[in-house]
C-alpha cells in the first residue's frame, strides 16, 4: 500500500479509522502494517472478532442491562419506542437487537452509529412485563443473549390510577412511604418510582424493591439530565419533574398523585396532580378522591380520543400552559423582503403605540431604515417602546452601550430598554449569562402582532435577490432563511400582555393599556385558533413541551425547519415518529454558507465548527429515516457562483404537523431554547393556513439538497464532525 491517501469512495477508506482503533484496542504491540494479501475490511473484522472473543473468554458480557437499558413506561394499545444502548464500539459486533418481553421475541431494531437500537412496539395488555435482549451478530462471532435477570421492566398503563413516588423516600428513608404504596397497590393503583437525584440509583431501587417486597413498577430516572446541568449551580429538578409527570399525562396515563417530601410549587409543577406527603394516611376518603380524579381524567381523555385529530390538542393541554384563542387571521412569512415591507407598513400606519422586542439589535442597513420609520411614527405622536437583550445587543452590558440605539433614543417618544441588564457594578453568574430573553416580537396598536425568529439586522430582513453574491462574498453577508407569523385578532392581546409583563419586569416606565375597539372585539367566528406558548427560562420547559406535543401527536406528516443542534428529547421523538409511519422532513441549512457544490464561503471558524456539530446530529436522524434537506436558493441573476445558487444558514424555527398545526416563533430545537432562554412561539390550528405553508416547504425540499450520509461531501467532513461533536458537550449546544 502506498503512502498516498486512499480514494474517499473506496470501501477501504470507510474503515481505516476503525481498523487503526481496533489494532490499538486488541494488539497495541502490533504495528499498523497492512497485510498486502488481505483487505482492510477483512483485517478489521478479524480484529473485532478477536477482541470480542477475548471479552467472552474472560467472562465479560458484551453489555450489562443496568448500564444500557432503562425501564419503559407505555400505554395500552399505544405505540412506544423500545431502546437499548450498546455503545458505539460494542455496536460493531451486533447488527440487530432483539427485544424479548416475558420470554417472547417481539421484534428487533438495527443498531445506529450512536450505538442505540430502537424498535416501535404496541402492547395489547396492561401490567408489568420483564424485558430481555439478544444481539444478532454481524461479524461471525457468537454473542450470548443479554439477560436482564428480570430487572428491566416494560410497564404498560391503562385505566388504573397512577401515583408517582419520589425514589429518595425509598433509598434514603427506610420504609418512609412503604405502607402508602402497599395500600395503593392493594386498591389496584399503578406505582412509578421517579428518581431525580444527582446519582443514578436504579440498581439500588431495584434491589430495595425486592428486599422490601414493594409494589412492582417502572423506575423513571432523571439522573442523566440532572447531571448535565449540575455544574451550572442551577436547580432544574422541579422543571424536569414537571416535564416528566406532564409527559405521562400527555400520553394518556392517569397520573393523579405524587408522593414526596420536597416543597413543590404545585400550581407551576403539575396543577392537576395531588402532592402527597409520605406521612399522610391514605384513608378511604383520600383513595376515593384519587379514584374520582382518575375517572374525570379518563372521561376527558376518551372524549378527545374519539377523533385522532385531537391528539395534538390533548397533548398541548397537558404539557403547556395557556389556552386556545379563536377567530384570528394568521400569515406565515418566509420571505425576508416581504417581512421587512409588512413590518414597516404596519409601523407607518400606527396611531397609538409601536412595541418592539429583539434579541440582537446591531447597526445595519435594516436598523437604519427601521430607525427612520420609528422616528417618523414618533414625530406624529406615536409612542415607541424598543426592548433589546442587554448581552446580545450590547446595551447596558458591563458598562457598554449600543451607540446606534443611543442615537435613536434621542428622538422624542422613543423609549429604549435593556432586557436583563448586566451593569458593570453587578455580580453575574452562569444564570445571568445563559437565561437571556430570546424573543422577537412586534405589536402595533394592540391590533397587529409579529412573532418569529427575526432579529434586527440585514441577514434577517433582506432577501438573496437583493444582495450581490460572488465567490469572494463572506458568509456573514449572505441573507438567512427566517420566519415570522403576522397575527390579527383576539390573540394579539396575549402577545401584548407578554410584552407589557417583560417591560415591567425590566423596570420600564408605565404606559396606559391600549383598549381594543368594539369592532375588533366582535371578530367573526372564522379564521385560525391560536395559542401563545411562553417559555420563561429555567422555571419551565414550555417551548420544548409544545414541540413534543406536535411531534408526539403527529399521525401523517411532520415538517421541521431549523439549523441548531437537535436536543436528544426531540431527536428520539422524531425517530419514533418515523418508526410509527409518520413522514418526517427536516429542512436545515449551513451555519456557514456553502456554494451549490458544497464548498464553504469564507467565514468565521466558529460558524464552521458549529456547522459540524449541527450536521452530526442531523446525520443520525437521516440514518434513522428522517428526510433531511439542506435549503438552497433558486437560481438568481445576482448570484455569480457555481450554478447561481447558495446554501445559506436557516434561522427559522418552524414545525408543522399533519397539515393542521404549525408552530412559529423564537424557540430553536436545541438545549438553550428548551431550558435556558426566554422564548415565545405561536401555535396555529388551521388546515388552510398550514396546508399552504406545507406547500411552500415542499418547494424548499424540491430545490434543496438531500443529506446523503453515503455521499463524498458527507464522508469528506466526517473527521471534523467526529472531533467537534466530542469536544462540544451537549449542555453547551447553543
DSSP 465: G
Beta bridge partners of 162: 190, 255
Measured from the Cβ of residue 361, the count of other Cβ atoms closer than 10 Å reads 27
| Predicted confidence (pLDDT) at residue 43 exceeds the cutoff of 60 | no
- Is a pLDDT exceeding 90 seen at residue 515? no
656: left (phi over 0), alpha (psi -120 to 50) or beta: beta
For residue 37, is pLDDT > 60?
A: no
Average pLDDT over residues 69-92: 81
pLDDT at 133 (0 to 100): 86
- pTM for the model stands at 0.89
Q: Over 80: is that where the pLDDT of 480 sits?
A: yes
pLDDT digits (tens, 9 = 90+) for 642-685: 899 999 999 999 999 999 999 999 999 999 999 999 999 999 99
Average pLDDT over residues 562-583: 94
pLDDT digit string, tens, across residues 110-169: 877 667 788 899 999 999 999 998 877 665 554 545 544 558 999 999 999 999 999 989
Residues recorded for the chain: 734
C-alpha cell at 213: 417486597
Q: Which residue has the higher pLDDT, 426 or 257?
A: 257
Please give the pLDDT value at position 110: 80
Any idea which of 127-136, 246-255, 315-324, 539-548 has the lowest mean pLDDT?
A: 127-136
> 375-384, 510-519, 637-646, 699-708 — which is least confidently predicted?
510-519
- For residue 254, is pLDDT > 60? yes
DSSP state of 672: I
For 5-44, the DSSP string reads PPPTTSHHHHTHHHHHHHHHHH-TTS-----TTS-HHHHH
Enter the C-alpha cell of residue 582: 409518520
Residue 187's φ and ψ, nearest 5 degrees, are -85, 0
State pLDDT tens for residues 683-728.
999 999 999 999 999 999 999 999 999 999 999 999 988 888 777 6
Taken in order of first residue, the domains within the chain and their CATH numbers are 11-57 (no CATH), 65-154 (2.60.40), 159-306 (3.40.50), 328-333+454-497+517-732 (3.30.870.10)
Q: Is the dihedral of CA 383, 388, 390, 395 positive or negative?
A: negative
Q: Residue 574 has which C-alpha cell?
A: 422524531
Q: What is the maximum alpha-carbon separation in the chain?
A: 87
Q: Would you give the DSSP letter of residue 422?
A: B
Residue 589 confidence class, pLDDT cut points 50, 70, 90: very high
pLDDT band at residue 374 using 50, 70 and 90 as cut-offs: very high
What letter would DSSP give residue 406? H
pLDDT of residue 39: 54
Mean pLDDT confidence for 630-647 = 95
Q: Tell me the pLDDT tens digit for each residue of 605-618.
A: 889 999 999 999 99
Higher pLDDT, 122 or 305: 122
Residue 728 is predicted with a pLDDT of: 67
Type and span of the H or E element at 609: helix 605-623
Cβ(729)–Cβ(613) under 8 Å?
Answer: no
**For residue 63, what pLDDT band results from cuts at 50, 70 and 90?**
very low
CA separation for the pair 99, 97 (Å, rounded): 6
CA 363 to chain centre: 31
Give the whole-angstrom CA distance, residue 181 versus residue 162.
Answer: 11
Closest by CA position to 672, among listed 544, 552, 556, 487:
544
- pLDDT at position 100 is 93
Output the 3-class SS for 638-662: CEECHHHCEECCECCCEEEECCCEE
Mean pLDDT of the chain: 87
Residue 213 dihedral angles phi and psi, to the nearest 5° = 55, 40
In this structure, are residues 623 and 112 in contact, taking their beta carbons and an 8 Å threshold?
yes
Tell me: pLDDT of 558 over 60: yes
Instruction: Tell me the mean pLDDT in the region 181-204.
Output: 90
Residue 159 to residues 76, 79, 220, 253, 538: CA-CA distances in angstroms? 9, 17, 19, 8, 33
* Measured distance CA(557)–CA(554) in Å, rounded: 7
For residue range 490-499, list pLDDT tens digits in order.
999 999 999 9
The Cα–Cα gap between 402 and 363 comes to 9
C-alpha span between 123 and 79 (Å, rounded):
8
Q: How confident is the model at residue 198 (pLDDT cuts 50, 70, 90)?
A: confident
268 has pLDDT over 70:
yes
Q: What is the pLDDT of residue 730?
A: 55
Mean pLDDT on 566-594: 95
Amino acid at each position: 500500500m502506498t503512502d498516498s491517501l486512499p480514494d474517499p469512495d473506496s470501501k477501504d477508506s470507510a474503515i481505516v479509522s476503525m481498523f487503526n482503533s481496533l489494532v490499538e484496542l486488541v494488539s497495541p504491540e502490533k504495528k499498523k502494517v497492512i497485510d498486502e494479501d488481505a483487505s482492510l475490511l477483512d483485517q478489521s473484522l478479524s480484529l473485532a472478532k478477536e477482541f470480542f472473543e477475548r471479552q467472552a473468554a474472560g467472562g465479560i458480557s458484551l453489555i450489562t442491562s443496568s448500564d444500557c437499558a432503562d425501564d419503559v413506561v407505555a400505554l395500552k394499545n399505544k405505540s412506544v419506542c423500545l431502546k437499548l444502548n450498546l455503545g458505539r464500539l460494542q455496536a460493531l459486533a451486533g447488527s440487530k437487537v432483539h427485544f424479548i418481553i416475558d420470554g417472547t421475541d417481539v421484534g428487533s431494531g438495527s443498531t445506529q452509529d450512536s450505538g442505540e437500537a430502537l424498535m416501535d412496539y404496541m402492547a395489547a395488555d396492561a401490567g408489568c412485563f420483564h424485558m430481555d435482549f439478544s444481539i444478532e451478530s454481524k461479524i461471525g462471532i457468537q454473542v450470548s443473549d443479554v439477560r436482564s435477570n428480570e430487572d428491566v421492566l416494560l410497564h404498560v398503563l391503562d385505566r388504573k390510577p397512577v401515583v408517582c413516588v419520589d425514589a429518595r423516600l425509598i433509598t434514603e428513608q427506610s420504609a418512609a412511604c412503604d405502607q402508602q404504596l402497599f395500600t395503593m397497590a392493594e386498591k389496584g393503583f399503578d406505582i412509578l418510582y421517579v428518581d431525580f437525584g444527582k446519582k443514578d440509583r436504579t440498581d439500588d431501587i431495584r434491589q430495595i424493591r425486592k428486599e422490601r417486597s414493594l409494589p412492582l413498577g417502572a423506575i423513571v430516572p432523571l439522573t442523566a439530565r440532572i447531571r448535565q446541568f449540575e455544574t451550572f449551580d442551577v436547580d432544574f429538578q422541579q422543571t424536569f419533574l414537571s416535564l416528566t409527570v406532564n409527559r405521562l399525562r400527555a400520553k394518556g396515563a392517569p397520573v393523579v398523585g405524587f408522593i414526596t417530601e420536597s416543597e413543590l410549587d404545585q400550581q407551576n409543577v403539575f396543577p392537576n396532580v395531588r402532592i402527597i406527603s409520605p406521612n399522610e394516611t391514605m384513608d378511604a376518603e383520600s383513595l376515593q378522591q384519587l379514584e374520582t380524579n382518575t375517572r374525570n381524567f379518563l372521561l376527558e381523555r376518551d372524549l378527545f380520543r374519539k377523533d385522532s385529530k385531537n391528539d395534538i390538542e390533548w397533548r398541548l393541554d397537558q404539557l403547556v400552559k395557556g389556552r386556545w384563542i379563536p377567530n384570528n387571521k394568521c400569515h406565515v412569512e418566509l420571505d425576508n423582503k416581504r417581512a421587512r415591507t409588512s413590518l414597516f407598513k404596519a409601523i407607518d400606519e400606527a396611531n397609538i403605540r409601536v412595541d418592539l422586542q429583539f434579541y440582537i439589535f446591531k447597526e445595519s442597513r435594516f436598523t437604519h431604515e427601521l430607525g427612520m420609520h420609528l422616528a417618523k411614527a414618533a414625530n406624529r405622536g406615536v409612542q415607541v417602546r424598543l426592548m433589546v437583550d442587554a448581552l446580545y445587543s450590547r446595551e447596558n452590558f458591563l458598562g457598554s452601550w449600543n451607540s446606534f440605539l443611543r442615537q435613536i433614543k434621542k428622538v422624542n417618544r422613543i423609549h429604549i430598554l435593556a432586557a436583563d441588564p448586566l451593569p458593570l457594578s453587578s455580580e453575574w453568574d452562569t444564570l445571568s449569562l445563559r437565561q437571556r430573553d430570546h424573543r422577537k416580537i412586534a405589536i402595533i396598536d394592540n391590533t397587529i402582532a409579529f412573532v418569529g425568529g427575526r432579529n434586527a439586522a440585514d441577514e434577517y430582513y433582506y432577501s438573496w435577490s437583493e444582495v450581490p453574491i460572488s465567490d469572494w462574498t463572506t458568509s456573514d453577508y449572505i441573507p438567512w432563511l427566517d420566519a415570522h407569523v403576522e397575527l390579527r385578532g383576539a390573540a394579539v392581546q396575549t402577545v401584548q400582555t407578554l410584552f407589557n409583563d417583560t417591560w415591567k419586569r425590566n423596570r420600564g416606565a408605565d404606559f396606559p393599556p391600549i383598549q381594543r375597539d368594539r369592532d375588533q372585539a366582535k371578530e367573526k367566528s372564522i379564521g385560525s385558533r391560536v395559542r401563545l406558548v411562553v417559555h420563561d427560562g429555567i422555571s419551565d420547559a414550555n417551548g420544548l413541551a409544545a414541540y413534543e406535543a406536535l411531534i408526539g401527536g403527529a399521525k401523517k406528516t411532520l415538517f421541521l425547519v431549523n439549523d441548531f443542534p437537535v436536543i436528544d428529547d426531540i431527536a428520539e421523538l422524531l425517530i419514533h415518529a418515523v418508526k410509527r409511519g409518520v413522514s418526517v422532513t427536516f429542512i436545515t441549512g449551513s451555519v456557514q454558507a456553502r456554494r451549490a457544490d458544497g464548498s464553504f464561503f469564507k467565514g468565521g471558524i466558529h460558524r464552521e465548527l458549529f456547522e459540524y456539530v449541527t450536521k452530526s446530529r442531523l446525520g443520525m436522524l437521516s440514518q434513522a429515516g428522517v428526510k433531511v434537506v439542506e435549503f438552497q436558493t433558486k437560481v438568481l441573476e445576482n448570484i455569480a457562483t457555481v450554478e447561481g445558487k447558495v446554501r445559506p444558514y436557516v434561522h427559522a424555527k418552524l414545525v408543522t404537523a399533519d397539515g393542521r398545526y404549525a408552530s412559529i416563533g423564537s424557540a430553536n430545537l436545541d438545549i438553550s431554547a428548551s431550558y435556558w432562554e426566554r422564548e415565545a412561539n405561536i401555535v396555529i390550528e388551521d388546515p388552510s393556513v398550514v396546508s399552504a405553508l406545507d406547500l411552500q416547504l415542499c418547494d424548499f425540499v424540491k430545490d434543496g439538497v438531500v443529506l446523503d450520509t453515503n455521499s463524498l461531501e458527507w464522508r469528506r467532513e466526517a473527521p471534523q464532525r467526529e472531533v467537534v461533536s466530542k469536544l462540544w458537550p451537549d449542555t453547551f449546544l447553543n
